[in-house]
Amino acid sequence: MKKGIVVVILYGVILFLAFLFRKPLLIWLDYSDFSQLPLMFFLAIFFAVIPVIPFTVFAGLMGVKYGVWIGATINWIGSVGAAVIFFVLARYFFVEPFQAYIARYQKVKKFDYIISQHGFIAVLFSRLIPIVPPPVINIYSGLSTMQFRIYFIATAIGQIPGMIVFAYLGNQLFSSFHSFTLGISVYAGFVIMMMVLYRFWYKLSQRKFQDVE
């Protein structure tokens, strides 16, 4: 509950600042200087790791500034880059602090067998639908025995739909409200479909897990 209030307040502050500095912000958004792309790639990773600005806000702005496909590419590199950073930190550098962090999420431990046996599918579904907070999946995967190659491929594929949607919604927000609402509806339908598939797969995995026990 407290976390939700903090998020609402943070978004409110961002919206207030955006309104306060709307003129320079609109000028910056209209000026699609591709020489700034390296900086945008860096900021995408930075905000995905340290959400000084919520990554969803940044991802939407990239869609406004550079269009859907370039914006989605920036978002994808940021999200995948952050996932790799957390994985490496959890596996090689901050094992004990991250173990203490993960211990707060008791339900995640139920994925032990599933991740060890079906790591690719587990991570893929966690990227496609908001099952578990991304930082938890990133850190937990790093602490597990999962191969980095499997983790990276599942993350790279699973992040594609969401990053395209963020860029698309940001791009359409200022141009077509109809397209904006249509995009939300399509993505909501996609998430629901993925959740149904996930629940079916998870039940099968749990049965196998019980058989192993």
Amino acid at residue number 189:
G
Locate 98 and state its tokens: 């991250």
Q: With a cut of 90, say whether residue 94 has pLDDT above it.
A: no
pLDDT digits (tens, 9 = 90+) for 9-62: 655 666 666 566 666 666 666 666 777 788 889 888 888 887 777 788 888 888
Q: With a cut of 50, say whether residue 120 has pLDDT above it.
A: yes
Helix axes 55-66, 22-30, angle to 10 degrees: 50
- Say whether 99 sits in a helix, a strand or coil: helix
Specify the residue for token string 């990053």.
Answer: 163
Mean pLDDT of 180-197: 76
Least confident of 83-87, 125-129, 146-150, 187-191: 187-191
Contact yes or no for 66/166 (Cβ under 8 A): no
Query: What's this model's pTM, rounded to 2 decimal places?
Result: 0.75
